[in-house]
Amino acid sequence: MRIITKTVPADFNLFLFSCTHWGSTFTHVSGWEQLVDQMNSEYAGLRANRNFGVHHGDIIEGKLIDDPHFAITGSDPGGILPQIELSQQKLWPIRKKLVTLLIGNHEWKLRKFGDIGGVIATHLGVPYGTFACKIHYLYKSGGLLLKQFAIHGKKQVGSVVGDIIQRRSNMRVQLKRHLMHEASDCILMSKGHTHKLLLVPPTQELYLTDSGTKIQQHLTSANPTDEYIHPDLRWYVNVGAFYRKYATELLNYDLMDPMNSVRSSYVEMGEYPPAELGYAVALIRGGNVVDVKLEVAE
């Protein structure tokens, strides 16, 4: 884990994303282009120079021929070096906005070839966050605005109960449990890996006191610079993905043109349920997180 510092204005937008899997033929390219366009444009009332981002890993697909999920039609370009080059090209337009870039399990499993995340981050001139990091967002004066804990993640988030309300609630509880003990001084906690787009906002609880003559009601609250922030008062985000379940071509098969033919992903073959593709955007105003928007990639 690494501690990273970033000087920011009191009002800014923080784009949180993961699992681009560059080199996979199932990467949602137009969804990525949507994110890049938003980061380089006015967003939520702030100019583009107030937009920053954190990549939570699984930058490349990185599947070698002996990988159980490898398929000739699943990788384009094939080979690790071309995928690294492609990822650098795709990240280049937002490189100056990236607070940090993490690795995921797809980069980690290739560690015998070197530190792929470190290579990509160094090429882009972006601080390398390793697998997990804490980010201290600072005022220009050096004072602390808030802290974020970011990790690619290893644990999955899922539920098989019948009712959709309970299913979603179970997944949010799992997300919170995965992150809550990682860093107790971070108002914003985020992870990738699961390919799910989930948000658990702070939950304030009512409590009562007295003034000596009457009962008074209050809601629990936290300051983003507190040394300890109660788990119920933090923001937890699962930041989504850009990996499609199905290929673009759904009708035709041509043995001599397999890359433009129908084909199946491991998500399809594994009978995984569909998930919204996209990313999250934390809105920081006055030095505190006031909202997190979940952006579905069209």
Q: State residue 249's pLDDT score.
A: 87
Q: What does the domain layout of the chain look like in residue ranges?
A: 2-296
> Which value, to the nearest 10 degrees, does the dihedral of the CA atoms of residues 172, 149, 17, 79 take?
-120
Cα-based distances in Å from 268 to 194, 207, 247? 15, 48, 10
- Using the 8-state DSSP alphabet, how is residue 122 labeled? H
Q: State residue 191's pLDDT score.
A: 99
This prediction's pTM? 0.96
Please state which CATH number belongs to domain 2-296. Answer: 3.60.21
Cα-based distances in Å from 267 to 1, 50, 140, 207? 30, 36, 45, 46
Q: State residue 74's pLDDT score.
A: 87
Q: State residue 232's pLDDT score.
A: 99
Q: What is the H or E stretch that residue 36 is in? A: helix 29-39
The pair of three-digit structure tokens given for residue 277, joined into one six-digit string:
């593709």
Q: Is 171 helix (H, G, I), strand (E, B) or coil?
A: helix
Give me the tens of pLDDT residue by residue for the chain, a chain 298 residues long: 999 999 999 999 999 999 999 999 999 999 999 999 999 999 999 999 999 999 999 999 999 888 888 888 888 887 899 999 999 999 999 999 999 999 999 999 999 999 999 999 999 999 999 999 999 999 999 999 999 999 999 999 999 998 999 999 999 999 999 999 999 999 999 999 999 999 999 999 999 999 999 999 999 999 999 999 999 999 999 999 999 999 888 999 999 998 889 989 988 988 988 889 999 999 999 999 999 999 999 8
